[in-house]
Amino acid sequence: MFEQRQVQLREGHSYPITLRRVDGSDGMLNVFLFPMDGTAKWDEDWTLSPGVATFNDGQTEWTVTLQALHDDRPEGIETLVLATQAEGSRWPWPTLLVLISDANVTSLGFPQWARGQLGNQPPAQQTAEADPDGDGLPNWVEYLWLTRPDCADRLPQPVLTLSPWGSWEASITVREDPAATVIAEFAGDVLFTAPQLDLGSW
């Protein structure tokens, strides 16, 4: 199984991914790695070497190298879901979420938004980490969550709707920006969760 649950890297960079053998180490075992989902394309956005992890008898750890390829195209965050399958097994397939960002990522929208929303504030209060209204939310969070940086407020709650099939769906709207990553994590026992926001290169 994967040692990490999620990794993030920029184009042109590589990342060592560690696989660990569980439930014993007797005999040789081949573990195949393959893309299960995502927007990043093999041999265009990423490569993996080697594509098969061969655990020898008694070996419990193996490292493969993920390379994010540089293509000079502004694509924002691209995703890749890597899965593993041990030789002779069918289910389950442990997975790893990979986020690949452009080599040079900047937020084009934030500076303009900050000037429009906080033009009467000192420059220090218009930075991404500043919190001019003192509500505990830095400007970059207010920007992504579409809230006001000059008025203390709270993050919006998810909108819950009941689907025709009887399941509950939670949705929330955030601003799309190539310099930010918004990750929603789901679990069977979760009652409420909030997306994780990554400040990126601001």
Q: Output the domain CATH number for residue 76.
A: 2.60.40.2030
Q: Which residues pair with 101 in a beta bridge?
A: 10
Same domain? 130 vs 188: yes
In a domain, 1, yes or no: no
- CB-CB contact of 197 with 144 (8 Å): yes
- CB-CB contact of 133 with 127 (8 Å): no
pLDDT single digits (tens) 104-160: 766 668 888 999 999 999 999 999 899 999 999 899 889 888 899 999 988 777 788
In a domain, 33, yes or no: yes
Same domain? 132 vs 48: no
User: Does position 53 have pLDDT exceeding 80, yes or no?
Assistant: yes
In a domain, 84, yes or no: yes
71 or 132, which is more confident: 132
Structural domain boundaries, residue 33: 6-101
145: phi > 0 → left, psi -120 to 50 → alpha, else beta; which?
A: alpha
- Going from the C-alpha of 68 to that of each of 65, 89, 172, the distances in angstroms are 10, 29, 30
Predicted confidence at residue 8, as pLDDT, reads: 86
Distance CA 151, CA 120 (A): 14
User: Does position 196 have pLDDT exceeding 70, yes or no?
Assistant: no
Distance CA 53, CA 51 (A): 7
Q: How far is CA 157 from the centre of its chain?
A: 21
**In the chain, how many domains are there?**
2
Same domain? 136 vs 58: no
Predicted confidence at residue 138, as pLDDT, reads: 92
Lowest-confidence range among 50-54, 66-70, 106-110, 143-147? 106-110
pTM of the model: 0.60
Q: What is the mean pLDDT of residues 167-175?
A: 75
Q: Identity (one letter) of the amino acid at 191?
A: L
Count CA atoms closer than 13 A to 4's CA, side-chain side.
Answer: 15
DSSP 109-157: HHHHHHHHHHTTS-GGGGSTT--TT-SS--HHHHHHHT--TTS---PPP
On average, the pLDDT of the chain sits at 83
Q: CA 176, 179, 181 angle in degrees (round to 5)? A: 65
